[in-house]
A and B are shown apart, each in its own frame.
Chain A
Amino acid sequence: MIQKAKQGDMRITLEVWRQAGPGAPGAFETHEITANEHMSFLEMLDVLNQELVESGREPFAFDHDCREGICGSCSLTIDGQPHGPRERTTACQLHMRTYRNGDRIKIEPWRANAFPIVKDLITDRSAFDKIQQAGGYVSVNTGAAPDAHAIPVAKEKADLAFEAAACIGCGACVAACPNASAMLFTSAKVSQLTLLPQGEPERERRVLAMVDAMDDAGFGNCSNHYECEAACPKGISVENIARMNREYARATLIER
């Protein structure tokens, strides 16, 4: 189908990771497409996929859902940067006006041992769920809660807890880290619940259990590169890692 060139159209060359399944060999495939500056990055991939389908070839598999930067599904490393070049922006909120006519863009999945590739650009991030299952909650049954105003919480602490809780669990921090560490992710939840009085009763056992689960899942250690904070689309601060380290040390003294 010949389409009239529209304002804002651009020719883009894509190198996209193709991998049939876990453990299968993978390689970059090159495609040329016409994008438009108003498209989101994922809409550009939609256009590529639709062209592939219409010519009888298999589309690229990639995780995506809300396309509003909040569900944490999208997980593309774009030209070596998780979620691409824009600060505090998930791949789904990245727009093609960031690019110029004639650009070449390389798209690959998260790269981390703890996130094995499932297919093409999709990775298995269930290790994150396992860390949360180990202790990322307050153990309170439904119906047993006191009135919400029974325990006041200082606004400053509540705000800090919120900032840590804003993590969307996308995994960009792990993908950005040279050690593929999950410290930023784990510490965000530890921080949230440490900062709130509701988390106090399980303070020690939570941090110990979550750190153990993190280590068991095969994530690397933190060596203070701070790439995680730079890549985080929600701007989760590395201060949370410091807080978790303190909490861990404290809990080790008390509990072990």
Chain B
Amino acid sequence: MTIADSPTQSAKLDSKVPGGPMEDRWTNYKFDLKLVNPANRRKFDVIIVGTGLAGGSAAATLAEMGYNVKAFCIHDSPRRAHSIAAQGGINAAKNYKGDGDSVHRLFYDTVKGGDYRSRESNVHRLAEVSVDIIDQCVAQGVPFAREYGGLLDNRSFGGAQVSRTFYARGQTGQQLLLGAYGAMNRQIHAGKIEMHTRQEMVDLVVVNGVARGIITRNLKTGEYERHSAHTVLMCTGGYGNAFYLSTNAKNSNVTAAWRAHKRGAYFANPCYTQIHPTCIPRSGDYQSKLTLMSESLRNDGRVWVPLTKGDTRKATEIPEAERDYYLERKYPSFGNLVPRDVASRNAKTVCDEGRGVGPTGEAVYLDFADAIKRDGRSTIEARYGNLFEMYERITGDNPYEMPMRIYPAVHYTMGGLWVDYNLESTIPGLFVLGEANFSDHGANRLGASALMQGLADGYFVIPATIASHLAGRKLEEVTKDHPAFKEAEASARKRADDLMAIKGTRSVESMHRELGNLVWNYCGMERTAEGLKEGKRKIADLRSQFWTDVRVIGDQNTINQDLEKAGRVADFMEFAEVMMHDALVRDESCGGHFRAEHQTEEGEAKRDDEHFSHVTAWEFNGPDAVPTEHREQLTFEEVKLTTRSYK
């Protein structure tokens, strides 16, 4: 099928979304898909890059089905992927609490939460398979929280009006990842997964327009390796570290996605990033990452800053009349419980006014004094004891006596490589799963939905849709001495050689910090056309400085963390420019993308559904050229578009 090109719909972006009633689409689609005969599956090699929740679950399931899986991760073990750090939980429309939840409600909440910028059919499928994920994980021995009757416990999370979040204390991501890791281990033991650890994908190999392999650098020996397959799955996470400081793990990066982008995979909605309001602020220039604290703290903590600029007194010495409880003042009905993006933006505003607190001036108080007075210390300790302890460990301050200091931080990215209903990118044979793709969260992700999406893609979606490629296309034999492999390997080697040869004066780390500052200041919580234009210019300058003045130390033929980092920062530099360009072109506010020019009188994000109800996907034209914009029109058949209000 071909689709016609129009101003709102590019012919290149066929979403392949099936027709018919929403609730039957996935079932009917699966029936219509071609199947790969079990006996033929062993003839197909599948490369999976990244072994977090999405990659790990895909690797295990495809190997169980009989495919030959080759999996790659940059860590020393698949168990270290950053999925492990997710705290809160995983949503599923089980309705075990009988409080009116359903697949339709989870679907509806997710589309609305995404501020109407996600693809309805994908989200509905996500809600449908959510229930199977829980069954699967329990069968694996994932120790979810239970009630005394022996059944699973649920909680309400992130402002949801039903209790649909399954959890394992504050370590849900860890337990789900270890479940997928176990399932992978079983297949490694059975010889169906060939696991390659400490290997970084440095290029994608495209043969006659189809993704047929990757080039990796062995991080232990520095050797370059060629790996061929019939299809490539990228499950490589998000790009939050473009901001340098984020809650992402230090090694999380955009490199694999970016190298695929340069080979022809379109990058969709890169400007959609999510900023979490309750993180521990940075304490100095040496800060390497930020730590998230559960936003449940806002249930009892009161957010404030001094009324006047430059007030350096200790928090406890500032009298009540000289404090500004700005959220309670501006949003009388929601107060401290306004949504993540509203809370984050307001913290920035008061800090920009010079009223921020702490040594850096980039923090606001979250004060429990009133709650302790009202409910008693032991009640507060029972609710938040572990969080208070974590806070004290990191800051050295005791939150029972001194208000916490908090500041927003980047922690998830909704944008990613564009994929169709099959999770296939614009390069045939290249599939993208989990946070690395763009499709399910629109402009804003709901709490406890990241784990759900990663596992939905890996356990339940790709095992069905991969057949569209493997059974649907004629795939010629490709060997590793194909010219495409030679060319990709040579270009990866040259890139590393070029980085080593600069021998400038600045450390990679310092340049990444500078990039992060630019992205945060111009493309963070609040964006303006003017700022984005300036930010783009500054990033372009920084990028040229990087390529003339960076200093990479050591040899290539051994572990060289400086070189690894240099390659990733180089990609972040190119990526950040496109991110800002996307933010500039999206001349509306929606979800995590807040353009100061487009707000309601209440300071809320003001969408422009008439002109921007589409996905923007960028085609790479070279690092110095403006990328080509492609659009996928979003249509809403089930969900009615509305505007939020928290006054």
The answer to whether A141 touches B185, judged by C-beta atoms less than 8 angstroms apart, is no
The answer to whether B393 touches A93, judged by C-beta atoms less than 8 angstroms apart, is yes
Q: Which among A6, A59, A124, A161 is the interface contact of B562 at CB below 8 angstroms?
A: A59
Q: Which among A54, A145, A153 is the interface contact of B551 at CB below 8 angstroms?
A: A54
Tell me the B255-294 residues at the A interface (CB within 8 Å): 283-284, 286-289, 291
The answer to whether A89 touches B286, judged by C-beta atoms less than 8 angstroms apart, is no
The answer to whether B249 touches A66, judged by C-beta atoms less than 8 angstroms apart, is yes
Query: Is B43 positioned at the interface, with any CB of A under 8 Å from its CB?
Result: no
Q: Which among A59, A67, A118, A161 is the interface contact of B289 at CB below 8 angstroms?
A: A67
- List A contacts of B138 (CB < 8 A): 145, 148, 151, 198
Q: Which among B60, B81, B146, B284 is the interface contact of A158 at CB below 8 angstroms?
A: B146
A73-B80, A142-B60, A149-B152 known; A65-B75 Cβ under 8 A: yes
The answer to whether A145 touches B286, judged by C-beta atoms less than 8 angstroms apart, is no
Give Cα distance in the complex from A133 to B551, angstroms: 41
Interface centre among B134, B287, B559 (most CB of A within 10 A): B559
Residue of A nearest to B86 (CB): A70
Q: Mark A45-61, 1 if CB is under 8 A from B, else 0.
A: 01101101110111101
The answer to whether B396 touches A38, judged by C-beta atoms less than 8 angstroms apart, is yes
- List B contacts of A39 (CB < 8 A): 283-284, 286
CB distance from A68 to the nearest CB of B (A): 6
Give Cα distance in the complex from A235 to B64, angstroms: 35
Q: Mark A116-129, 1 if CB is under 8 A from B, else 0.
A: 00110010111011
Tell me the A143-186 residues at the B interface (CB within 8 Å): 143-149, 151-155, 158-159, 161-162, 165-166, 168-169
Q: Mark B550-566, 1 if CB is under 8 A from A, else 0.
A: 01011000111110000
Query: Is B79 positioned at the interface, with any CB of A under 8 Å from its CB?
Result: yes
Q: Which among A58, A152, A158, A196 is the interface contact of B554 at CB below 8 angstroms?
A: A58
Query: Is A91 positioned at the interface, with any CB of B under 8 Å from its CB?
Result: no
7 additional A-B pairs beyond A65-B250, A126-B197, A137-B183, beta carbons within 8 Å, are A58-B553, A67-B288, A136-B185, A137-B185, A137-B186, A138-B141, A199-B141
CB distance from B456 to the nearest CB of A (A): 12
How many chain A residues have a CB neighbour from B under 8 Å? 80
- List B contacts of A199 (CB < 8 A): 141
Binds A, one of B171-179, B343-351, B622-630: B171-179
> Chain A residues in contact with chain B, CB under 8 A?
6, 20-21, 36-40, 42-43, 46-47, 49-50, 52-54, 56-59, 61, 63-68, 70-73, 89, 93, 95, 97, 118-119, 122, 124-126, 128-129, 132-149, 151-155, 158-159, 161-162, 165-166, 168-169, 192-193, 196, 198-199
Give Cα distance in the complex from A159 to B139, angstroms: 16
Residue of A nearest to B458 (CB): A142
- List A contacts of B510 (CB < 8 A): 50
- List A contacts of B135 (CB < 8 A): 145-148
CB distance from B463 to the nearest CB of A (A): 7
Residue of B nearest to A20 (CB): B558
Q: Which among B150, B171, B553, B561 is the interface contact of A155 at CB below 8 angstroms?
A: B150
Q: Which among B82, B132, B181 is the interface contact of A65 at CB below 8 angstroms?
A: B82
Q: Which among A64, A119, A148 is the interface contact of B134 at CB below 8 angstroms?
A: A148
| Shortest beta-carbon contacts, A-B, top 6 | A152-B150, A137-B182, A145-B139, A162-B143, A38-B283, A145-B135
Query: Is B84 positioned at the interface, with any CB of A under 8 Å from its CB?
Result: yes
CB distance from B360 to the nearest CB of A (A): 11
- List B contacts of A122 (CB < 8 A): 559
Residue of A nearest to B557 (CB): A21
> Chain B residues in contact with chain A, CB under 8 A?
57, 60-61, 64, 75-82, 84-85, 94, 96, 132, 134-141, 143-152, 168-169, 171, 174-175, 178, 181-183, 185-186, 188-189, 195, 197, 220, 249-251, 283-284, 286-289, 291, 393-396, 459-460, 463, 505-510, 551, 553-554, 558-562
CB distance from B6 to the nearest CB of A (A): 40
The answer to whether A198 touches B220, judged by C-beta atoms less than 8 angstroms apart, is no
- List A contacts of B507 (CB < 8 A): 50, 53-54
A-B contact list, 6 entries, CB within 8 Å: A65-B82, A66-B80, A118-B559, A125-B76, A125-B77, A133-B188
Give Cα distance in the complex from A193 to B137, angstroms: 13
The answer to whether B286 touches A46, judged by C-beta atoms less than 8 angstroms apart, is yes
Give Cα distance in the complex from A161 to B145, angstroms: 10
The answer to whether B553 touches A165, judged by C-beta atoms less than 8 angstroms apart, is no
Q: Which among A20, A56, A68, A198 is the interface contact of B553 at CB below 8 angstroms?
A: A56
The answer to whether B183 touches A71, judged by C-beta atoms less than 8 angstroms apart, is no
- List A contacts of B553 (CB < 8 A): 52-53, 56-59
CB distance from B502 to the nearest CB of A (A): 13
Q: Which among B77, B79, B249, B284 is the interface contact of A67 at CB below 8 angstroms?
A: B249
Residue of A nearest to B560 (CB): A61
The answer to whether A36 touches B559, judged by C-beta atoms less than 8 angstroms apart, is no
Residue of B nearest to A64 (CB): B250
The answer to whether B79 touches A72, judged by C-beta atoms less than 8 angstroms apart, is yes
- List B contacts of A95 (CB < 8 A): 393-394, 396
The answer to whether A46 touches B182, judged by C-beta atoms less than 8 angstroms apart, is no
The answer to whether B189 touches A70, judged by C-beta atoms less than 8 angstroms apart, is no
The answer to whether A162 touches B169, judged by C-beta atoms less than 8 angstroms apart, is yes
- List B contacts of A146 (CB < 8 A): 135, 139
Give Cα distance in the complex from A61 to B178, angstroms: 26
Interface centre among B81, B151, B181, B182 (most CB of A within 10 A): B182
- List A contacts of B195 (CB < 8 A): 129
The answer to whether A158 touches B145, judged by C-beta atoms less than 8 angstroms apart, is yes
- List A contacts of B183 (CB < 8 A): 137, 142
CB distance from B164 to the nearest CB of A (A): 13
Give Cα distance in the complex from A136 to B180, angstroms: 11
CB distance from A21 to the nearest CB of B (A): 6
Give Cα distance in the complex from A196 to B146, angstroms: 12
- List B contacts of A73 (CB < 8 A): 75-76, 80
Residue of A nearest to B507 (CB): A53
- List B contacts of A38 (CB < 8 A): 283-284, 395-396
- List A contacts of B185 (CB < 8 A): 129, 132-133, 136-137
The answer to whether B459 touches A139, judged by C-beta atoms less than 8 angstroms apart, is no
Residue of A nearest to B189 (CB): A133
Q: Which among A71, A72, A129, A192 is the interface contact of B82 at CB below 8 angstroms?
A: A71
A68-B85, A72-B79, A166-B171 known; A36-B286 Cβ under 8 A: yes
- List A contacts of B77 (CB < 8 A): 125-126, 128-129, 169
- List A contacts of B288 (CB < 8 A): 40, 42-43, 46, 67
The answer to whether A142 touches B463, judged by C-beta atoms less than 8 angstroms apart, is yes
Give Cα distance in the complex from A27 to B105, angstroms: 62
CB distance from A86 to the nearest CB of B (A): 8
